[in-house]
Amino acid sequence: MENYFDVLSALILFSSFVLVANKRIISYIRTFQLQACLIALTAGIMGMNSFLKEGKIDILVVCAIILILKVYYIPRLLRKTYAGVEYKVEKDFFLNIPILIFICCFLVLFAYFSVPTIGGTMAGNVNIQVVNSFSLVLIGFFFMISRKKAIGQIVGFLVIENGIFITAMFSTHGMPFIVDVGVFIDLITAVLIMGIMVTRINDQFETIDINQLKNLRG
Amino acid sequence: MTFLTAEFLLSTSIILYMIAALAALVLLKNQKLCALLSSLICIVASLFGLAAAFKQLLFENTTMALRLWQSNIPFLDVILSMDALSAFFVLCLSILTLCVSIYSIGYMKHYYGIRNVGLFYFLYAGFIVSMFLVFTAGNAVIFFVVWEIMAVVSYFLVSFESDEPETQRAGILYIVMTHIGTAFLLIAFMLMFRYTGSFDFSISSSALPENIRDIMFVLFLVGFGTKAGIIPFHIWLPYAHPAAPSNISALMSGIMIKTAIYGLLRFVFIYLGVETTWWGIAILVIGMVSAVLGVAYAYIEQNIKRMLAYSSIENMGIIFIGIGVSFMAFSEGLELVGALALTAALLHTVNHTLFKGSLFLCAGSVHYAVHSKNMEDMGGLIKRMPITALFFLGGALSVSAMVPFNGFISEWLTYQSIFAGIIPGQAAENILLVFAVAALALSGALAAACFIKLFGISFLGLARSEQAASANEVPLSMSLGSGILTALCLLSGIFPLYALGLINRVVLQLANRPILDQLQGNIFFLYSPLEIHGNAISPQIIVLTLVIIAAGALFIERIIFGKEKRREFGTWDCGYEALNPRMQYSAAAFSKPIRVVFKMMFRSSRDLKIKGPLTYHPDAMEYSVTTESLFEKYVYDPVSRMVTAFSRKAKFMIQTGSVHTYLLYIFITTLILMFYNRVIG
């Protein structure tokens, strides 16, 4: 069982590298969708496991929510938002892709280096799943920094959320249902608001390059 | 009457204040009804508070604990507790609230239609309830929260007349200073939690190491000192008090700055315990400086309310002297002296609440009638407003420590405790204590001069302005509010043993050393403790003597000169056409001698403008005096310039406005923290 999880966590991490390597907005929405699928798969396996062993369906429900929300609804919303704003082909990142990948590798190493001392259930052991999923958080954050367009920030935020969710999954094998649901509600609200904000920014500045927000400073 | 427990009375009082706040919001539209109703509810609430305090102080021996709300979240239990110390301060608060609420019914009339009176009452009741909770908070978290609520609400009240630039500036200065003070308290509470693992200040503090105790003491001293307005943290006080409406000034000066005394006793005296002598010395020195400089600045002031504010600094200084002496004495094991000094400090606390409340309310009455706070616009008010003048005179005599008013008793006890603290063999401390006596004497004399100036310039002589000449006596409720306070000043001055009886309970709790039976000769006499010198005064006999001397003088005059014959003539005016108000002493002129004596401190400069073509026969002359505050010039201004310069730089260098940079800051901070956790943790 643990082997499956090891492989899945590695795949999820890999998908985030793919994300960083993507050039176009449309393609990183797609990569995000793929990542969400992998997370749903992980939750599904974990859910089946807990259903067969303890007869609980909590995690399966969570899996279903992920499928609906992250695989279907949020990408659709993002595409819609993206279609609404005028598209200009522009370089969307500050550094070039090889350097971004290189930095992401360092982030993974850093996660490997620093996670074992975080106290709690597996203090002292290196749990490769947690390291991978934790790296996902850092890479998501880094992704937010590296992209200029506002949709990049939304995707980065979603990746961070994915990372946190999957870290929780791997370290606890199922959080309390109410917590998961609360997180999802937060998430959907955040994405909706950010979608609106992107449209607004576009209306105001005729671009969604958030570097332009500098002009708002007092 | 078993249901009338202290718990019941206390919670009723708090709930009534909250109802008053809500009622004010509900009745926002109808200002008259709103003011009347909220004031009445506050009056009833303060009566309940008074009852709770008396009940706790006189009849209960255990600490009352009231658990309002219990949660599973750590440190979020709302617990109120009331022991003798809390009850004593609740008592002061309730007396003052009672009088100020009565006063407000009339006073708020001149805001009708100009300001949002409903909002005012909401804040007013909220302010009182927050102070109430400060005195009864059961743990440091609650204390801190209500302390901050008190600060914020009082900020809104200070800047109630918000369209005047001076008020805005005063409000900003106040909120900045009070927040700096709060920051120190926050650090102290964090240290407390770091070493004891609890925010409960009723448990023992033995887990704290010695040096941490010293650090916490300094933090508490600065944090509470800022609220107390002692020098050098006083700069907000002379601006905030005049800017606020007078009923709020009375509350702020009467009781809000006393929350600092409460905090100091609660956290330093009870929680940390007094073991080190230099704590007492530090408090004593600060108290001496505040007492002398506070009153010196008060003396040269022309604005009535600012003068009263500086006088508050002086009185806080006197209270600090008492506390300082008591800390020194306790740390050296002189329990009796310590208890005596503590009694004196607490008595001066309640006395200051009474007379400063009365004085601020009277100053408000004067402002209400004359529409000015500047003494140079007043004069002759004793004829136009005899009742206010009478009460003001009572308050002024009390603050100047004149028999038979209460200020005398507490200053007398403070002197006695300092004298008793002088013990052969400790040269350094003895010299300090002698200086303390000198400081107290100097400040007492200056305070008397200061209030002679205040009363003489504003109430005596001829009116200096149209408004003063046509001023009318204020409504009954306003006179009643200040009158009760002045009457209490007189009563507790003539019968000090009742007030001392209440304070004795507090000292008993704090120091476990009853002092009352030492002070009590019989009902007539107030002794300095018999163990020490056994000299005594009797306020009642002094009053009786005064009456007899006055009556005797009148009698003898009658015998010698016979029946009164009255001739009325104008005062001889050196041949001018008529006397006019400009021939009187002005406030600035009155304070000139002191200004010259303390020239180094006031840095006064004068400016004489002569108008007209001829120097020797000018059309008009204009004379103005300016003084500058040393603390503002050499301490606060440079600091504020530095902060402004840093902020401006930070705006360009750190706060760039780029979302990416901000994200990068967060990211790098996260990485550094993780690294720190890995390497150090």
Least confident among A120-129, B110-119, B283-292, B346-355? A120-129
CB contact under 8 A, A145 and B670: no
Asked whether residue B621 falls in the same domain as residue B668, the answer is no
- pLDDT tens for B196-230 read 888 888 887 788 888 899 999 999 999 999 999 88
Interface with chain A: mutation pick from B652, B654, B656, B659, highest number of A CBs within 10 Å: B659
Q: Residue B184: inside a domain, yes or no?
A: no
| Chain A residues in contact with B651 (beta carbon < 8 A) | 217
Nearest to B444 by CA among B598, B344, B542, B318: B318
pLDDT tens by residue, B503-531: 888 888 888 877 777 776 666 666 666 56
Same domain, B616 and B646: no
Looking at the partner chain, which of B657, B663, B667 has a beta carbon nearest the beta carbon of A213?
Answer: B657
Q: Is residue B655 part of a domain?
A: yes
- Is there a domain that residue B104 lies in? yes
| A126 pLDDT higher than 70 | no
Distance CA B48, CA B37 (A): 17
Q: Are A157 and A19 in contact (CB under 8 A)?
A: no
Indicate whether B40 belongs to any domain.
yes
**Angle, to 10 degrees, between the axis of helix B6-26 and the axis of helix B117-136?**
160
d(CA B179, CA B200): 23
User: pLDDT tens digit string along B295-308?
Assistant: 998 988 889 999 99
The three-class DSSP label of residue B68 is strand
Q: Touching check for A117 and chain B: CB below 8 Å?
A: yes
For A9-65, how does the pLDDT look when each residue is reduced to its tens digit (9 = 90+)? 999 999 999 999 988 888 888 999 999 999 999 999 988 888 888 888 888 888 999
Q: Say yes or no to pLDDT of A120 above 90.
A: no
Mean pLDDT in residue range B357-365: 94
Q: Which residue of A has its CA nearest to B673?
A: A114
* Contacts of residue B240, Cβ cutoff 8 Å, sequence gap at least 6: B158, B170, B171, B173, B174, B252, B309
Q: Are B143 and B202 in contact (CB under 8 A)?
A: no
Q: Is the pLDDT of residue A91 over 60?
A: yes
Domain end position, chosen among B138, B154, B170: B138
DSSP tally for chain A: helices H, then strands E: 8, 0
> Which of the listed residues B138, B165, B182 is the one where a domain comes to its end?
B138
Where is the domain boundary, B113, B138, B163?
Answer: B138
Same structural domain for residues B89 and B25? yes
Q: B660 vs chain A: nearest CA distance in angstroms?
A: 5
Encode pLDDT of A168-201 as tens digits.
Answer: 888 877 777 788 888 888 888 888 888 888 877 7
Asked whether residue B623 falls in the same domain as residue B642, the answer is: no
Contacts with A215 from chain B: Cβ below 8 Å: 657
Any domain includes B1: yes
**Distance of residue A137 Cα from the nearest chain B Cα, in angstroms:** 11
- Whether B31 maps to a domain, the answer reads yes
Is residue B55, in this structure, part of any structural domain at all?
Answer: yes
pLDDT at res. B76:
73
Sign of CA dihedral B637, B606, B311, B486: negative
Same-domain status, B611 and B642: no
For the segment B610-636, the average pLDDT, to the nearest whole number, is 80
Q: Check B659 against A153: CB less than 8 A apart.
A: yes
- pLDDT tens, residue by residue, B615-626: 777 788 888 888
Per-residue confidence band for B539, with pLDDT thresholds at 50, 70 and 90: confident
From the list B657, B664, B670, the residue facing A217 with the nearest CB is B657
Q: Which residue has the higher pLDDT, B518 or B103?
A: B103
Residues B622 and B639 in one domain: no
Residues of A in contact with B680 (CB under 8 A): none
| Torsion B311-B314-B318-B323 (CA) sign | positive
Number of separate domains in chain B: 3
Span A145-159, pLDDT tens digits: 888 888 888 889 899
CB proximity under 8 Å: A 173-212 to B? 210-211
pLDDT category, A89, cuts 50, 70, 90?
Answer: low
Does residue B620 or residue B342 have the better pLDDT? B342
Q: Are residue B91 and residue B20 in the same domain, yes or no?
A: yes
Domain that includes residue B618, residue range: 597-628
Chain A's closest residue to B667, CA to CA, is A141
Instruction: State whether ipTM is beyond 0.90.
Output: no
Instruction: Give A159's contacts (C-beta < 8 A, 6+ positions apart).
Output: A16, A19, A32, A35, A136, A139, A140, A143
The residue type found at B454 is L
- Give yes or no: residues B1 and B41 share one domain: yes
Residues B81 and B129 grouped into a single domain: yes
Report the chain B residue with the minimal C-alpha distance to residue A209.
B659
pLDDT given for residue A122 in this prediction: 57
Q: Domain for residue B500, yes or no? A: no
